Amino acid sequence: MPDSSETDVNIPGITRLPVQKMADDALWQTNDPVAIEEPLEIRIQYGTKPPRQEQSLSVTMRTPGNDEELALGWLFTEGILPVTGALPKNYHILPTSTNTENTITLILPDGLTPDLTRSQRHSYTTSSCGVCGKTSLESLHTPLPRQSTGNLSIPATLLYTLPLLLRKEQNIFDATGGLHAAGLFTPTGDLLALREDIGRHNALDKLIGHALKQNLQTENTILLLSGRACFELIQKAAMAGIRIIAAVGPPSSLAVQHAEDNDITLVGFLRQQRFNIYSGAHRIRI
């Protein structure tokens, strides 16, 4: 019984590949939607006088789409862009006619010097790991901006509603079953933005890059992760000033420690009308 629906081919980040399916002792061949995984090289140009300096900083495996947001989010959460909480003015991206298909170059304004000491990775980063290319233990801990904790708090029952809202908007996951998602919600449970990617850290970088471009005040938002909460995701969220993080899956021990160190509320196993609070319980009203 082949699936004749191919509406998903119009969704960016999806391709269709031939596959043989086996069910009920029957075998047939059809085309199935598969999430695209391709490399993206992130480059940066900077300097005050020509010739400006250009440097390749990272190659990451990602699902194509929202590449500018991915580059901006990655540069910000790595601490390479100045930690001001706002996007540098007058930056621009090289036109696609100049870039290759899987290369993106961010050109910084004159006089804005990136902190390239924080880009010490190997030249290749897999889609499943954002910190496994780090060349030193010290470089794992990106310096965080000083954040005001504020008075943000939410009712516990609000958290129950978020996974379903996120799931309804995961178009690529619906078609392929193979992508991670990160979503930003208001304190009243409205979805502000969602990004998907084959790499969980890429999905969050895209989301933070979007927030930077739109000048969203992330300090008063809730971040929901479709999978587990690892150290790097907490680090990236902390860089963006996010105070409440919820994950459908479990956290790691280092993620819990990092959340505690940065006064972040961390919720895990958010599913089926239940969850665990690992840190920052004062922001959850029972």
Catalytic residues: 129
Backbone angles phi, psi at 200, to 5 degrees: -65, -35
CA distances from 101 to 1, 98, 161, 180, 281 (A): 37, 9, 39, 23, 45
Instruction: Give the 3-state DSSP-derived string for the chain, with helices as H, strands as E and coil as C.
Output: CCCCCCHHHHCCCEEEEEEEEEECCEEEEEEEEEECCEEEEEEEEECCCCCCEEEEEEEEEECCCCHHHHHHHHHHHCCCCCCCCCCCCCCEECCCCCCCCCEEEEECCCCCCCCHHHHCECCCECCCCCCCCECCCHHHCCCCCCCCCCCCCEEHHHHHHHHHHHHHCCHHHHHHCCCEEEEEECCCCCEEEEEEECCHHHHHHHHHHHHHHHCCCHHHCEEEECCCECHHHHHHHHHCCCCEEEECCCECHHHHHHHHHCCCEEEEEEECCEEEEEECHHHEEC
